[in-house]
Structure 1
Amino acid sequence: MKLSVFCGVSVDGFLARPDHSLDFLETGEQEPHGFEEFYNSVDVVVIGRKTFDVVLTFGEWPYGKKQVVVLSSNPLNFSSIKNGVVEQMSGEPSEVVTQLKARNFKHAYTDGGITIQRFLSSGMIDRMIVTRVPILIGTGIPLFGPIPHDITLRHLATRTFKGGLVQSEYELSANQ
């Protein structure tokens, strides 16, 4: 099973503002930058509870019929989700991956600050696509946090877009 991250961050490395808002990610007119193709390549989305709470404020469920797994050790209420396929799991990243593999999922989109950090620290992430938005916000929820050891990245590509986005793709070394 492959686990990937596809995220946007401010140039100073924040996924969201301290209040979890994402308004800065949409700076002016941005051309397509590969998210739709990436999203079509995954068969399950793994997010944390805080990300789930933010997604609920969007109004419409953004994941369509794609299987979504929300990580939380506390009970969650999914009653407001219409036409979505969502469930709850808990446990260490390796336990979550084992459960997903047992259900024959092949490619997971891993999203949310703490979730990305936990899966990176446990060596579960295989690929990262990070799109830097041309803005500094000074404070917020960082993409990266403390890690127990160095994580070696192999640079695959960097693309720039007319709107100022800079996107870098990395493969993470196995056996970390």
Structure 2
Amino acid sequence: MPTAHVFIATSLDGFIARPDGGIDWLLQRDSQAEDHGYEDFMADKDAIVMGRGTFETVAHLDPWPYDVPAYVLSKSLSVAAIPKGLQSKVTCLGLTPKELLTELASENLKKIYVDGGQLVQSFLREGLVEDLVITTVPVLIGAGRPLFGTVPKDIDLELLSSRSFPSGMVQCKFRVLA
């Protein structure tokens, strides 16, 4: 079964986007001068899986930022909603996280990057996340889309590493224990 890995940024108050999905607060502080480890993280990933909201945020990016196959898990997004230039790069599926991992195993994929708040929450609730790299941005945005939601039981984490950046961002890597 493929393993699921998270690499995501949050505001200090735990939001990954504004209520309308905006990430201007992150983009204003993200500098090319700081290497937050994204390329190293992606180096061994075979695919990216995102939810509809995340896809709608990144679908307009030119060039398309991913060199690996992208899967969008959504029961409401139709294939017709995928821009023509992305149809060969993006697959839209109405599967559960566990069903997706079974499907990706049949394609011999080993490690996947899971992106998007609701999708990360779904993978966590099903016990499918191996580790999380969370970069905290030193800003309070007051409201928005939270990274974490309700869970059926405590999810224990082990801190593997942490580091800070000149911008004030702090990045922690956690292994999911249970």
TM-score by length of 1: 0.92
The aligned residue for residue 56 of structure 1 is 59
* Alpha carbons of structure 1 residues 32 and 84: separation in structure 2 relative to 1, 3 Å: farther
Considering only aligned residues, what root-mean-square deviation do their CA atoms show, in Å?
1.6
> Alpha-carbon deviations, 1:119-166, whole Å to 9, x = none?
011100001000001111000000000111110101101111111110
- Structure 1 portions without partners, runs of 5+: none
Aligned mates of 2:140, 2:156 — CA distance in 1: 26
Q: Which moved more, 1:106-115 or 1:68-77?
A: 68-77
Alpha-carbon spacing, 1:47–1:82, altered in 2? closer, same or farther (3 Å): closer
1:167 maps onto 2:168 in alignment = no
Q: Does 2:41 align with 1:35?
A: no
Tell me what 1:6 maps to: 7
| Cα distance in 2 between the residues matched to 1:69 and 1:98 | 13
Question: After TM superposition, what 4+ stretches of structure 1 lie above 6 angstroms from structure 2?
Answer: none
Residue correspondence of structure 1 range 7-156 to structure 2 within 5 A: 7-26=8-27, 27=29, 29=31, 31-64=34-67, 66-74=68-76, 75-77=78-80, 78-82=82-86, 85-156=89-160
Report the more deviating stretch, 109-118 or 35-44. 35-44
User: In the alignment, residue 56 of structure 1 is paired with which amino acid?
Assistant: A
1:34-75 alpha-carbon deviations (Å, 9 max, x no partner): 0111112211000011111111233432213x1000111232
Contact kept in structure 2, 1:61 and 1:84, CA below 8 Å: no
- SS in structure 2 opposite 1:53? helix
CA contact (8 A) 2:73 2:96 kept: no
In structure 2, distance between residues paired with 1:91 and 1:133: 32
What CA distance in whole angstroms lies between the structure 1 residues aligned with 2:159 and 2:131?
Answer: 10
CA distance in 2, matches of 1:50, 1:81: 19
Identity of paired residues, percent? 38
Separation of aligned partners in 2, 1:145 and 1:81: 34
2:156 & 2:47 partners in 1: Cα distance?
25
TM-score (normalised: structure 2):
0.91
